[in-house]
Amino acid sequence: MDAFLATPVGVLALTVAQAMALLVPLLIGVAYLTWAERKILGAMQMRKGPNVVGPFGMLQPFADALKMLMKETIIPSGASRALFIMAPMITFTLAMLAWAVIPVNDGWAIADINVGILYLFAISSLGVYGIIIAGWASNSKYAFLGALRSAAQMVSYEVSMGFVIVTVLLCVGSLNLSEIVRAQEGMWFIIPLFPMFIIMFISALAETNRAPFDLPEGESELVAGFFVEYSSMSFALFFLGEYANMILMSALITILFLGGWYGPFGLLPALGPLWFVLKICFCLFVFVWVRATFPRYRYDQLMRLGWKVFLPFSLVWLVITAAALKIFGWLPGGV
């Protein structure tokens, strides 16, 4: 068996098996995140949520998928057909590709590369292309305006996220995601870097176009925004990509600030993957909680928060962190 795994075919088979072992639970998690969101919102708004299809409505995601598969795909007559079809595929594929470097447990990563954080940042930055292409290819002013909003919004908040990530990297001295988690064995970074955690979480809301920053799909003025012309499974792929990105951002927050696979106070270290999943679920619950609580921002408020509040604050905190690490001799590697 070891000899087979050493061959190119064996390496390919092992990589495919690892990818499927990660992507299949992820896709099931995406499906049930839609169910969980509707149940949580229902409880917060004093209603039942899905409760008809299956026990507690648990088969509702499969009913929704079947409905989307059976619907007709309608392509507007003035649309750019190739780009129109390709846009949701790009959004969904990029959301899946990012998981290649996520360490679920110590040594449990498909590709444990030394520049994992840069890979993640690059993939999340590319995600805007699917939305821009969808808005442009639809040949609709509503879709185009939604795409422009999304591009401006995601670029604005990626700057602050970059400063947050650099602050964490200063404390670790490595771009490897597993090393970032191992550096938090004694204390999670949420404690010394709590303001940056808040900026990261709010920026993740903006990066995934979630309420109260869901302006690219503002129903009141854009009639669902960049995907207004989409139907059937192409429409569903945008939602699958959005929910997969929510899980991805929750995983990134868990790795950067919540100790990854480490339990609180070193409790039950053997349950690393379970702690990782529980932390992701907590972050996702807060995503939904925020949606149920806050009204949608105006666009000028969104830009003001990103450029006039988060950007200067994260830059100042980065400088303070670097100075403190240098003064007290805490820089990794004794730099």
Query: CB of 228 within 8 A of CB of 141?
Result: no
Residue 325 in domain: yes
pLDDT tens digit sequence for 239-280: 888 899 999 999 999 999 999 999 887 777 778 899 999 999
- Cis bond upstream, residue 264 (ω within 30): no
Residue 1 in domain: no
Residue 50 in domain: no
Query: CB of 174 within 8 A of CB of 114?
Result: yes
Residue 291 in domain: yes
Segment 57-78 mean pLDDT: 90
Per-residue pLDDT band for 2 (boundaries 50, 70, 90) equals low
Closest CA to 75 of 94, 88, 62, 63: 88
pLDDT computed for residue 84 by the predictor: 92
pLDDT of 224 higher than 80? no
pLDDT computed for residue 6 by the predictor: 64
Cα separation, 262 vs 268, in Å, equals 8
DSSP per-residue codes, 12-53: HHHHHHHHHHHHHHHHHHHHHHHHHHHHHHHHHTTS--S-SS
Residue 58 in domain: no
Per-residue pLDDT band for 220 (boundaries 50, 70, 90) equals low
Cα separation, 39 vs 36, in Å, equals 5
pLDDT computed for residue 334 by the predictor: 45
Sign, Cα dihedral of 163, 167, 168, 173: positive
Per-residue pLDDT band for 43 (boundaries 50, 70, 90) equals very high
Per-residue pLDDT band for 125 (boundaries 50, 70, 90) equals confident
Segment 139-154 mean pLDDT: 87
Q: What is the pTM of this model?
A: 0.92
Residue 326 in domain: yes
Closest CA to 19 of 93, 72, 77: 93
pLDDT computed for residue 199 by the predictor: 96
Cα separation, 292 vs 320, in Å, equals 35
DSSP per-residue codes, 81-137: HHHHHHHHHHHHHHHHHGGGG--SBTTB-S---TTHHHHHHHHHHHHHHHHHHHHHH
What does the block give as tokens for 109?
Answer: 């990563």
- 21 CB-side CA count, 13 A: 10
| Residue 108 β-bridge partners | 105
Residue 35 in domain: no
Residue 209 in domain: yes
Query: CB of 207 within 8 A of CB of 147?
Result: no
Can you give the length of the chain in residues? Answer: 335
Closest CA to 226 of 126, 124, 84: 84
Q: Is 211 helix (H, G, I), strand (E, B) or coil?
A: coil
pLDDT computed for residue 5 by the predictor: 58
Instruction: Tell me the residue range of the domain where 125 lies.
Output: 72-334
Q: Is 246 helix (H, G, I), strand (E, B) or coil?
A: helix
Cα separation, 137 vs 81, in Å, equals 7
pLDDT computed for residue 76 by the predictor: 87
What percentage of residues in the chain have a pLDDT greater than 90? 48
Count of domains in the chain? 1
Closest CA to 95 of 216, 203, 232, 247: 247
Distance of CA 232 to the CA centre of its chain: 23
